Chains A and B, each alone.
Chain A
């Protein structure tokens, strides 16, 4: 099925996407572009990918009817429990898939960028599993605020390299990963979100699409219908949202809500709400919407959540925003923290700070009682305990 939300042959989602890369990366990116679809669609890959997802990752993840949350907001709210995946977030769906692609292409050295550390951990995990060398780039600031994940990566045998340029967060970790890739073109860049030069955004979306693939049959079992009324997911680069939306993109009756991090407030100057503050530009090899000044200098975003602290958004999401297919909302640090504490208290689930942003829009939406809402519970909050404890005391 050809969807208008799938990229064209040059990797464009509408006007967004493409591969704006230095010449040195051309052979790598071309090799991937020439092979990724064929590999992903091969029976060999599908058998191995699905079997690892089942027995190693623990999929399918449950679709849980959150009764008390539903009662509170007057809707029928399901939580897609990506937090129950091995390594604690949806990120591993992508890393399991990409590591199989890397192996198929004969690559033995893996590099990755990470913000909250979830992608770094998920990458270090599959590298340990496959016996491949792993280097993870992480912003110096994020190394401090996500210390447990740094320790996990190291225990898994990965080398963690601090990105000390710019805002010392996800954007800069990605810059450093790309610079390293330029200097070591033999490595495989296992990118963590639906960002970067084509074909990375499409490849990652296809690997995360397992989320909505499962949602379809799970909803059918539970509600009699494959389609919910509304899907809510947080967006930094946008990989969990891409996965949760993927099989519903062309079903226009399914409302898609993407939630960005507003930081201290969209207009505070300390925010990461890209769609609200950004304009068309190029970041990390992709034409998309990004936060920049009038001269095209990329602005440093801010969010309490390291995973959403990114000045751009994947090109698919730029198209979803521009075409109004998805409704872009946002939540502040404070709202996200409140939502995290609320879910913990009434459902006994501690969500990741990123995920808490998706939950934080529930009070802002007017629901009807039988409205079927799926919130993609993208990750668990173990890594954020230090921040939660700090706010618990307050």
Chain B
């Protein structure tokens, strides 16, 4: 059983996940952010690996990645930082990065480091299903790593069923045709899409992300899924107020 499956056994409603960018706002904030999120009862944490060309990310996460890279973050430092939390941190961590990072670092070396840090779940937005089937499924299986697939309003039912069959942790339900970033509210069209997915009675747990920014959008998302991920809104808060005000932000959601 992986860390996310264990989590779902204990709790499968209203799960709150927070995305943050490693090395942001300061290089050594990675571990501090995780600790505060854990203390405030965040259910699992999406750990963003800063990338120079993040195609699926909006301006807020792009800027945080840019800043983190300027701060001197790199994969070796990220893994060192995460390693220091291995014994103490009880909140599941999910790594999110782009495929080129894994490719260049060395696929096996990357997977080994992930496992060494006690992490077993990856989100790679530019890893398409066909590449997963042809190669990465075997690689990840070798290390006991599970891959999170994204579905969108434009993903066909057939494809969703296939993704459902591959999923060992959760399906990331992208809330709209969009890159990351807050939209303010959830539209009726989005609600219809959430209803359609919910009515499919998939075996996998569902987590909604992209455009979830506050208590209201979080609660709406939780009506149709097992939980939701907040990213850009949290990064914005972190950028504006530093790591000191994280408690207030989390308390405003749950």
Contact = CB atoms under 8 A, between A and B. Distances in A.
Contacts of A20: 99, 126-128, 131
B101 A179 contact: no
B177 A298 contact: no
B193 to A, nearest CB: 13
Give the interface size bracket for A toward B.
Answer: 20 to 34
Nearest to B127: A20
Contacts of B179: 179, 182-183
Contact of A165 (B56, B62, B129, B152): B62
A171 B177 contact: no
Residue of B52, B101, B151 with highest tally of chain A CB at under 10 A: B52
B243 interface: no
Contacts of B151: 23
B36 interface: no
A295 B104 CA distance: 6
A283 B52 CA distance: 11
B75 interface: yes
Interface string B171-185: 000100111000000
Contact of A23 (B98, B100, B102, B149): B149
A131 interface: no
B177 A22 contact: no
A175 B53 CA distance: 7
Nearest to A27: B154
A166 B74 contact: no
Contacts of B125: 22-23
Contacts of B52: 166, 297-298
Contact of B154 (A19, A21, A24): A24
Contact of A171 (B53, B62, B131): B53
A178 interface: yes
Interface in B154-207: 154-156, 159, 174, 177-179
Contacts of B101: 295-297
B140 interface: no
Given A182-B177, A183-B177, A22 B56 contact: yes
Contact of B100 (A183, A282, A294): A282
A24 B55 CA distance: 11
A18 interface: yes
A184 B104 contact: no
B103 A281 contact: yes
Contacts of A24: 150, 152, 154, 174, 177
Interface string A246-284: 000000000000000000000000000000000111111
Residue from the set B51, B101, B104 with the largest chain A CB neighbour count within 10 Å: B104
B99 A282 contact: yes
Interface in B78-106: 98-105
Contact of A296 (B100, B128, B131, B150): B100
A23 B152 contact: yes
B100 A292 contact: yes
B104 A296 contact: yes
A23 B156 contact: no
Contacts of B250: none
A154 interface: no
A20 B159 CA distance: 17
A278 to B, nearest CB: 11
A197 to B, nearest CB: 9
Nearest to B153: A24
A179 B177 contact: no
A148 interface: no
Interface string B104-124: 110000000000000000000
A19 B102 CA distance: 17
Contacts of B62: 165
A24 B175 CA distance: 11
A344 interface: no
B85 to A, nearest CB: 21
A21 B132 CA distance: 12
A297 B101 CA distance: 7
Contact of B103 (A10, A19, A280, A294): A280
A179 B58 CA distance: 8
Nearest to B150: A23
Contacts of B66: 165
B1 interface: no
B103 A182 contact: no
Contacts of B7: none
A22 B103 contact: no
A67 interface: no
A26 B126 CA distance: 11
Interface in B132-152: 134, 149-152
A190 to B, nearest CB: 18
A19 B159 CA distance: 17
Contacts of A182: 55-56, 177-179
Interface centre among A10, A23, A166, A285 (most CB of B within 10 A): A23
A157 interface: no
Nearest to A279: B104
A292 B159 CA distance: 33
A295 B177 contact: no
Interface in B204-231: none
Contacts of A179: 55, 58, 179
Interface of A: 10, 18-24, 26-27, 165-166, 171, 175, 178-179, 182-185, 279-285, 292, 294-298
Given A23-B149, A297-B51, 18 more contacts: A18-B131, A19-B128, A20-B99, A20-B131, A22-B125, A22-B126, A23-B150, A23-B174, A24-B152, A26-B159, A165-B62, A175-B53, A182-B55, A182-B179, A184-B177, A285-B126, A297-B74, A298-B100
15 contacts: A19-B128, A19-B130, A20-B128, A22-B55, A24-B152, A24-B174, A24-B177, A27-B154, A27-B155, A165-B66, A182-B55, A283-B53, A292-B100, A296-B103, A296-B105
Closest 3 A/B residue pairs (Cβ): A296-B104, A297-B52, A282-B100
